[in-house]
Amino acid sequence: MTSPDITRRGLVAAGGGMAAAAGLPLLLAPPVQAQSKTLTLLNVSYDATRELYKEINVAFSAFWKARTGEFLDIKQSHGGSGKQARAVIDGLQADVVTLALAGDIDEIAARAKLLPANWQSRLPINSTPYTSTIVLLVRKGNPKAIRDWADLVKPGVGVIVSNPKTSGGARWAYLAAYAYGQSKGGQAAARAYITKLFRNVPVLGAGARDATTTFAQRGIGDVLLAWENEAFLTIHEFGPNFDIVYPSSSILAEPPLALLDKNVDRHKTRVVATGYLNFLYSPQAQDIIARHHYRPRNAASAAKYAANLKPIAMVTIDQAFGGWKKAQATHFAEGGLFDQIYKPA
């Protein structure tokens, strides 16, 4: 039996080797700069806004530094909108939420009471500084000749969309499709249409990004029901192997934002969080928003980037579904219409 000394040396040497190997890449990294007063803000957002907020955060940090002299460190978290709302309800310490739809922020207000129920009236235009819509992204040359919603339910068409339970974009997509069905003959026609549509869906991703990578990177399916900005981003990122098809009508998607009162008061970030949300309405932010293929509220920005914003007929959730609360309860709640019509393949 070897002596304990050798044992210890062996352990130490091996442990040291492990630590050295693990720590090696750290040496390549520049040292972290010690900053004096830095405010931290956490923006919990949905999947499709990664690139948008990267740019907004840089612009706002500079704006805030110039105005107050304070350094800002804006942290981001992205994922399916419903999943993100769930995390905030479970205690993710967001100062602001910028989610895909009002229903998810309503959930936060109802379950975690982090903000008042009337949150949506606190900021201009329903707390939505920009809108977006759902479009169809098809493969180059549109081999399956997909022109409108009716073409999606044809046999042999693979439709890629994420799970409406976890993804905000998918809920908008579902409602856009349902509204099309309604326009063709009321509830019965809509239900028949949406049932057939989801029969053509081979796989449901958790968030918009899952669906996009399934379609663009893994090459599955013939058409992606995508956020308008996500469709443009896909072409930008994956090259011109895709075409965007604007259907005859779609839905006016309003992704809202809100400050979480209880959290900002605990973090003492109310002032900067308010500044951040208001900044999104400024001409500078509205231009950034338009450049990322969202539809800005500011008329000047919209005019400047008119080439990005093809006109399209859009129904609103209030007209077609009587608001989010009703839509959520009818379609996406446990046992709702989506649960009834969707049978995983």
Decide the pairing of beta strands 295-296 and 130-131.
antiparallel
Which helix or strand (DSSP H or E) is residue 282 part of?
A: none
The span from the CA of 209 to the CA of 32, in Å, is 31
| Angle, helix 283-291 to helix 50-68, in steps of 10 degrees | 160
Task: Return the residue of 65, 111, 140, 326 that touches other proteins, per CB under 8 A.
Answer: 111
Partners of 43 in beta bridges = 76, 96
Letters for 171-210 (x = contact with other proteins by CB under 8 A, - = none) are ------------------------------------x-xx
Residue 2 engages other proteins in binding (rule: CB under 8 A)? yes
What one-character DSSP code corresponds to residue 333?
S
CB nearer to other proteins: pick between 58 and 300: 58
Q: Does 16 engage in binding with other proteins (CB under 8 A)? A: no
For the CB of residue 52, give the shortest distance to other proteins in the complex, in Å: 12
Two tokens, residue 130: 């920009």
Question: Which of the 8 DSSP states describes residue 132?
Answer: B
For residue 34, which amino acid is it? A
Binding residues for other proteins, total number by CB under 8 A: 45
Alpha-carbon gap, residue 123 to 133, rounded angstroms: 21
Of positions 59, 112, 203, 220, contacts other proteins by CB under 8 A: 112
* Minimum CB–partner distance for residue 113 and other proteins (Å): 10
> Could you say which residues in the range 42-101 bind other proteins, by CB under 8 A?
42, 44, 47, 50-51, 75-79, 87, 89-93
Site for other proteins in 206-245 (CB under 8 A): 207, 209-210, 213, 233, 237-238
Contact 125, 297 (CB under 8 A): yes
Q: Please give the Cα distance from 206 to 170 (Å, whole number).
A: 9
Rounded CA separation 142/122 (Å): 44
The answer to whether 14 contacts other proteins (rule: CB under 8 A) is yes
Please say which residue, 26 or 34, places its beta carbon nearer to other proteins: 26
DSSP tag of 230:
H
Chain positions 253 to 312 lying near other proteins, rule: CB under 8 A, are 266
Nearer to other proteins, 28 or 299 (CB): 28
* Beta carbon of residue 308, minimum distance to other proteins (angstroms, whole number): 19
Tell me whether residue 8 or residue 326 sits nearer to other proteins (CB atom): 8
Are the beta carbons of 102 and 171 closer than 8 angstroms?
Answer: no
Q: Which of 16, 18, 116, 248 binds other proteins (CB under 8 A)?
A: 18
Residue 167, burial from CB neighbour count under 10 angstroms (0-12, 13-18, 19+): buried
Which positions lie near other proteins, rule CB under 8 A? Answer: 1-4, 7, 10-11, 14, 17-18, 21-23, 25-26, 28-30, 32, 42, 44, 47, 50-51, 75-79, 87, 89-93, 111-112, 207, 209-210, 213, 233, 237-238, 266
